[in-house]
Structure 1
Amino acid sequence: MKLKQILMATALTLAPIGAAAECSIEGTGEVNVISNFFEALEVLANEMKTCGNDGLIIDTKLTTDHKEETSKAFTAATSPFDAAAVANSSITLLQAKGQLRPLNDLVEKYRDKYNIEDGMLIKFGDDVAAIAFMVNAQHLFFRKDIFEEHGVAVPTTWDELLVAGEKLKAAGIEHPYGAAFGNSWELANEYVNLLLANGGTLFDPATSESTFETPEAIAALKMMGKLYKFMSPNAMSMDFGDVKRQLQQGDVAMAILWGNEASAMDDENESTVVGKIGFAAAPAMAAGGAPASTFWWDGYVIPKNLDGDPDLTFQVLMHAMREETVKANNDITLWIRSAYEPGEYTTAITDTVVNGAPPYPMNPQASLAHGALGENIADFIVGKESAEESLADATKAYRAAAKEQGLLK
C-alpha cells in the first residue's frame, strides 16, 4: 500500500495544496500568525510576508513555545493571532473547547482560486478545522561511514540499536546515540512512540482512564533508560534542534529525528557530514513489528476569537501553501500536495508509515496523557525513581487534568 493511499484512508483526510504566483490579495488590515520553528514553517512564513504592502501588515511569530501561546491566545477575549500552526496533538484541546472557526465556507469560496484539494482538509465531523500542508514522522538517521567502518548493521529493532550502541561505544565513540529528551513534550513524544509500538495505549476509549501502567508501558519506559546510557550527559536538556546539530557536527553516530530534517544533513552551510548520513525507517520494538514512530500532519487553524478578518487571513495562508512554494522547496519536507515529488530525503518517512507507524491519536485524552507523561517520566530516566513509580505519578497527573477537563468524574 502506498503512502498516499494510507493517508487518504485515515480519518485525518490528508493530501495536496494551493496555487498562484504573485501575491495579489486585496484587502487592508493585519494578519498575525504563530507557529512552531522549523524549516518548512520558515518557508511558509516568508511566503506569507510577500503579501504585505502599505495597507496589509503580515506578522509571523515562530517559537518553540507556540503551543502554550496559542492556547492562551485562543482562550482570551480576542486572540492576538489570526491563525496558528497546529498538528495532530495540539489541535485536539482547541477543538474540544470549541475555539476553532470552521473553515468550510472559506474552503468553498477559494477552492478554485487556490486549487484546494480535499486531502488537505482536517475534519472533525463535517467541520473543516484545519488546512494541512505536510506529513512528518520520526525515523533513524545514521552515519553510513562509521557503520561501514565498524561493521555495524542498520538496526531494524530497538534491541539491535542497543547492540549497535555497545559496539560503537567499544570502538571509542563516546556518545553513539542522540534523541530529543530535552523538554517535557519531546520527552513524552519519544516515549509514546515506544509505547504504541510495544502494544500499549494511552487511555481506555470507553472510560477515558489512563492505561500507561501496564507491562507494555513499563517495558517501553525501561527502553528509554537503556537508550539514555548511549547519549550525551546533556541529553536531558537537548531538544530536536540540538540533536540535529549533534549529527551535523559529528558528535553522534545515530539519532532519531523528524524526517523533515533530512535535507539539512547535506547543507554545506551548517553540516560537517555532507553525504555521510543515511536514513532508515524507525526501529520496531519487536522484529516484524510496526516502527516505533507515529506520523503527523501539520497545518493551520483560525480561531473563533480572532480580532482580524478571517477571509483575509485564509487567503494569506493559502497563498503561502501554493504549488509554487512546494515546487521551489520540494526536498525540505513531505508536502501534502500533488505537486510534491518524493525524493531521497523523504523515503524513510514513507517507509516508516508504510511499515505500520500509526497516526498520532487525535483526541483530548491523548493530549492530556502526553502532557502528564512528559512531566513525570524524566525521574526514571535519570535514576531518581523506578519506571513503575514514574508512571504512577503520570497517571495521577493525567487523572487530575482529565477531571479538570470533564473527561473523568
Structure 2
Amino acid sequence: MKFKKIAGLTATAILGASLLAGCGGGDEASDGKVKLELFSNKSESINTYKDMIKKFEEENPDIDIELNAPPEAETVLKSRLTKNDMPDVMSIGGNATYGELARAGVLKDFSDSEIVDKIQPAYLKMIGKLVGDEKEGVYGIPYATNANAVIYNKAKFEELGVEVPKTWDEFIAIAEKAKAAGETPIYFTLKDAWTAMIPWNSIAANAAPEDFASKKNAGEASFQEDYKDVAEKMLTLLEYGHKDNMGKAYGDGNTAFAKGESVMYLQGNWAIPEIKKANPDIDLGVFAMPVTNDPEQNRLVSGVDVLLTSTEGTKHPEEAQKFIEFMLQEENAKTYIDEQAAFSAVEGVYQEDPVMEGIKTNFETGAITSFPDHYYPAGMGAENLIQEFLIKKDTEKFLNKIDKEWDKVQNR
C-alpha cells in the first residue's frame, strides 16, 4: 500500500498526558456492548476488514468494531492526535510515522505479550529501527508485508520474445524493444505523487548506501553525493512512459494496465487485486526491478505494509488485544494475504499465489531489503519533491533541495 506521511508530525505535537487520558476511540454502546474503533490507512482492504470484523463480532457478541478508513487517512490521524481523539486499534504502515507515534508514547508496548513470538524476527527488527535505540519496546505487531515490483503482462512479454530481466541493461533493453514495437513500456501514474516512490525505493535500496539515513543524520552522507545515480535512473525510466505521465493517477493506471495499455507497471503487490478486478483474465507476473548489472546485488524491496497496534490510552485494552489476537490467528492471517495479494509477517503463513512466483525466491533466499523512505524524516514530503523533480528534471537542483528539506525537518 502507498504510505502517505503525516506532514510535520513530531513528538512534541502529539505527546502529553492529556492525549493519553483523552482518547476518543471506543466506548460502551447503549446496548451494553463494548464499541471499538479500528482505524485503517488502506482503502484497498476495506472489504477484507469488513468480513474479518463480521467474523470477530460473531465470535465476540459483546464487542462491536467500527471500521474507519478515510481518504488521506494519515492526515486525518494527525488532526485527531491534536484533538486528543485516538482510535482504539490501528492498522497502519510500518513507516516513519509509526516511529514518531511510538517514540511519543502514544502506542501500547507489546514487549511482554506472547503474540510477539508469532512474528518473523526480521520484520520486528525492521520496525524496531523505525523507533530507534532511545526507546525500547515493541509498539506494533507486523501483520502484512509488501513488495515493490515490476508487474508485467506475460502475454506481451511473449509477443516481444523477452524474458524476465536480471540486470538493469536487460530491463532497459526490454523497454526499448517494447517502445520500438509501438507499445507503452511502462505506465506511470505520477499525478499521485506517492506512486513515484515505487521506482524510487526500488532504485535507492539497491544503488544508494543501506545506512544512508543514519549517516545523513550524522552529517556523513548527502543526497548530492549518494543519490545521483538514483536520480538519473529515475529520469531514464521516465523516457519509457506514455504521453501523460503526470496526468494519470493510481486508479487510472490499474485500469489502463488491466486493459493492456502497457507492457509493465511499476507498483506494489497491493495493486494486483485492483488490476484483476478490472480484468480477471489478465495473465500477470512480477519481478524485482534489477537496478544494477550484477544479478547477485539486486534485492527486492519489502517492508511492513500493515502493523496492528492499540492506543496506550484506550478505555478497552483487553478487547483491543482480543481483536489483534484474532487477526493473528493463522486462518485469518492467511485470508488477509490471499485477498490482498500480500505477504504475511506471521510465522508459518505463506503466500501461494502463482502470480508471485517471480519474487518467491527473494523471500526464500533473503534477497530482500527495506524501503529507504521509511527511514526518511516524517513530514519531509519526499514524494512531492520527487514528483517536482520528474517534472523539472534538474538533478543538481533537486538533490540540493531534498538535502535541505531533510535537514530542515530534522532540526525542528
Is the CA contact 2:389–2:395 (under 8 Å) kept in the aligned structure 1?
A: yes
> Do the aligned residues in 2 keep the contact of 1:210 with 1:398 (CA within 8 Å)?
no
Which position in structure 2 is the counterpart of 1:244?
Answer: 254
Amino acid at match of 2:319: L
Amino acid at match of 2:41: N
Within 2, Cα distance between the matches of 1:245 and 1:292? 28
Partner secondary structure for residue 227 of structure 1 = helix
What aligned pairs does 1:143-154 form with structure 2 within 5 A after superposition? Answer: 143-154=153-164
Matches within 5 A, 1:127-138: 127-138=137-148
Q: Does 2:51 correspond to 1:46?
A: yes
Matched, 1:164 2:174: yes
Alpha-carbon separation, structure 2, partners of 1:247 and 1:301: 35
Q: Aligned pair in 2 of structure 1 residues 29, 116: CA closer, same or farther (>3 Å)?
A: farther
**Counterparts of 2:379 and 2:292 in 1: how far apart (Å)?**
20
In the aligned structure 2, how far is the partner of 1:330 from the partner of 1:101? 25
User: In the superposition, relative to structure 1, how do residues 346 and 40 fare at CA in structure 2: closer, same or farther (>3 Å)?
Assistant: farther
Correspondence for 2:120:
119
1:253 positional shift: 0.7
- Asked if structure 2 preserves the Cα contact closer than 8 Å seen for 1:369 and 1:398, the reply is no
1:33 equivalent to 2:38? Answer yes
Question: Contact 1:285/1:291 (CA < 8 Å) preserved in 2?
Answer: yes
Deviates more, 1:318-327 or 1:164-173: 318-327
Mapped contact 1:142–1:279 kept (Cα < 8 A): yes
Q: CA deviation at 1:388?
A: 1.1
The reply on whether 1:360 has 2:371 as its aligned counterpart is yes
CA distance in 1, matches of 2:74, 2:152: 30
Alpha-carbon distance in 2 for matches of 1:263, 1:388: 38
Distance in 2, matches of 1:42 and 1:290, equals: 38
Residues 83 and 313, structure 1, Cα contact 8 Å, conserved in 2: no
Aligned length in residues: 365
Q: CA deviation at 1:286?
A: 2.7
- 1:232 aligned to 235, 238, 242, which one? 242
Is there any run of 5+ residues in structure 1 with no aligned partner, and where?
Answer: 1-26, 405-409
Q: Which of 275, 296, 300 is 2:303 aligned to?
A: 296
Q: Is the 8 A contact 2:167 2:290 kept in 1?
A: yes
CA deviation after TM superposition for structure 1 residue 151, in Å: 2.1
Show the counterpart of 2:352.
342
Q: 1:210 to 1:256 in 2, by over 3 A?
A: farther
Q: Deviations over 1:131-154 (max 9, x none)?
A: 122221111221222222222332
Q: Is the 8 A contact 2:168 2:292 kept in 1?
A: yes
What is the letter of the counterpart of residue 378 of structure 1?
Answer: Q
8 Å CA contact 1:29–1:55 kept in 2: the answer is yes
Aligned match of 1:10: none
1:163–1:371 distance in 2 versus 1, CA, 3 Å: farther
Q: Give the whole-Å Cα distance in 1 for the aligned partners of 2:117 and 2:110.
A: 12
Displacement after TM superposition at 1:67 (Å): 2.4
- The equivalent residue for 1:19 is none
RMSD after superposition:
3.3
Q: In the alignment, is the contact (CA less than 8 A) between 2:43 and 2:71 conserved in 1?
A: no
Equivalent position of 1:321 in the other structure: 328
Is the contact between residue 301 and residue 371 of structure 2 (CA under 8 Å) also seen in structure 1? Answer: yes
Please report the TM-score for the alignment, with normalisation by the length of structure 1.
Answer: 0.77
Match of 2:10 in 1: none
Can you list the C-alpha shifts for 1:20-43, whole angstroms capped at 9, x where unaligned? xxxxxxx83221122232545642
